Amino acid sequence: MTSSDSTFAKKRDVKFDGLRVIGLLAIILAHVNPPALLFQLRNFDVPLMVLVSGAVYGLSSSKKKYVSYIWGRVLRLLTPTWVFLIIFFLINFIIGHHFSRQDMLSSFLLLNGIGYVWIIRVFILVAVIAPFFVYLYQKIQNKLWYLCVVGFICICYVGLYQIYRQFPVHANALVDFIFQNIIFYMLPFGCVAGLGIYMLRASKKSLIRLFVLFATFFIFLSYTHQFVPTQNDKYPPGMYYLSYALGISLLLYLLSFTTVFQKVFGSRLMQFISASSLWIYLWQIFFLYQWGYLKSFMPQWFDTFFVEYVVIVVISTLVVYGQKRLIKGVVEKVQNKTIQNVLSTSFLK
C-alpha cells in the first residue's frame, strides 16, 4: 500500500488506480485465510503494488531531488503507520487486549510485532533504491539493455541469497538482521520497481513478450518444483514467487488499457480507495484483530472467509472515508500551517 503521490493525485491515471485497488483487495484477501486455490491466485499482490509504485515514481521523478524525495516518501509512509499503531495499541489496551513491549517495538520498527506492517518497510526500501533504477533508465539508451541490467541485478540477488544460505555469515546477529530485513527485500522489490519504470513507456508488444517470458519461467519452475504454493518462496521473495506475481501483474496491466477496465475503475469510489489505500490497509489490520477476538461469539454460518472479507473491506473503507472528512474539516478551520501539514501527512495521504 502506498500513499497517494502528489503528482499522481493531480494527474490521475485510471490504469494505476485500478491496479492499486486490485493489489490492495488481493492483500486483504490473503489475511482472511481463503481456500488454497484462491490464496494462490491472489499471490501477485505485493509485487503488483511495487510495480505500480515504480511506474508512478517514474512519472514524477524528473523534478525531485533524491534527499527531498526520500524524506517526503518516508514521512508519507511512516507517519500514518506510527499514528495508526498508537491508535491500535491504545484502543486494544482500553478494551483489555494487551501486547508486549517487544511486540509494540517490533511493530514500530516495521518488523514482526502485530504482523502486516512489514509491507511498509518494503515500500520504504523501494523508495530508497527506485531513483537508482530511474538513473539507469535515463542513462541507458537501449531499453532492452536496461531490462538486461535489471535482470542481472535480480540474478545477483538470487546468487547472493544462495551464498548467504550456505555460509555461516548469518551467525552474526547484526549481519543477519541487515540481510534478512533490508538487502533481501530491497534488491528483489527494487528490481520489480525498476520493471515498473520500464513498463510505463513500453510498447504493448514488449509487455506481451515480458508476460510470456515470466509465464514460461513460472511454468518451468512449477514443473521442477512439482508445483508448491508460491507463498513458500515469498520470505524473502524468490524467482518462483516473482515469476508468477510479475506474470499476473503484467497481464493485469495489459488489461488496464481496455474499455471495461477503465469503466470499472474510473468511478469516484475506486479512485477514493486507490488514493486511500495506505489507511484502508492499516485499518483492516485493526478489524482483523477484532474479528479474531469476536469469532467465538459468532454463529458458524457467519464466520466464513467471504463474510469476514466483505465486512473488513467495507468497514475499513467507511472508517477511512469518515476519517478524511473529519480531518479535512479540521484542516480547513485551523489557521496554523504546521498543524495543517502534520494533520494532512498523518491522516489524509
Q: What pLDDT score was predicted for residue 171?
A: 63
Would 27 be classed as within a structural domain?
yes
Task: Select the more confidently predicted residue: 10 or 324.
Answer: 324
Find the domain containing 286 and state its range.
6-348
Kindly report, residue by residue over 167-187, the tens digit of the pLDDT.
765 567 888 889 999 999 999
- 8 pLDDT more than 60: no
- 267 pLDDT more than 70: yes
Cell readout for 323 is 476519517
Q: What pLDDT score was predicted for residue 168?
A: 63
Residues sharing a CB contact under 8 Å with residue 159, sequence separation 6 or more, in sequence order: none
Backbone angles phi, psi at 257, to 5 degrees: -85, -10
Q: What percent of the chain lies above the pLDDT cut of 70? A: 95
Mean predicted lDDT score pLDDT of the chain: 92
Task: Select the more confidently predicted residue: 102 or 13.
Answer: 102
Task: Select the more confidently predicted residue: 26 or 72.
Answer: 26
Q: What percent of the chain lies above the pLDDT cut of 90? A: 77
* CB neighbours of residue 87 within 10 Å: 13
- 49 pLDDT more than 60: yes
- 55 pLDDT more than 70: yes
Q: What's the 3-state SS for the chain?
A: CCCCCHHHHHCCCHHHHHHHHHHHHHHHHHCCCCCHHHHHHCCCHHHHHHHHHHHHHHHHHHHCCHHHHHHHHHHHHHHHHHHHHHHHHHHHHHCCCCCCHHHHHHHHCCCCCCCCCHHHHHHHHHHHHHHHHHHHHHHCCCHHHHHHHHHHHHHHHHHHHHHHHHCHHHHCHHHHHHHHHHHHHHHHHHHHHHHHHHHCCCCHHHHHHHHHHHHHHHHHHHHHHCCCCHHHHCCCCCHHHHHHHHHHHHHHHHHCCCHHHHHHHCCHHHHHHHHCHHHHHHHHHHHHHHHHHHHHHCCCCCCCHHHHHHHHHHHHHHHHHHHHHHHHHHHHHCCCHHHHHHHHHHHHC
Q: What pLDDT score was predicted for residue 111?
A: 93
Would 199 be classed as within a structural domain?
yes
Would 318 be classed as within a structural domain?
yes
Peptide bond into 236 cis (omega under 30): yes
Kindly report, residue by residue over 131-165, the tens digit of the pLDDT.
999 999 999 999 999 999 999 999 999 999 998 88
Number of domains in the chain: 1
Would 198 be classed as within a structural domain?
yes
Which range, of 37-46, 173-182, 309-318, averages the lowest pLDDT?
Answer: 173-182
| pTM of this structure | 0.93
- 302 pLDDT more than 70: yes
Q: How confident is the model at residue 342 (pLDDT cuts 50, 70, 90)?
A: confident
Would 102 be classed as within a structural domain?
yes
Would 1 be classed as within a structural domain?
no
Would 58 be classed as within a structural domain?
yes
C-alpha 41/C-alpha 244 separation (Å) is 9
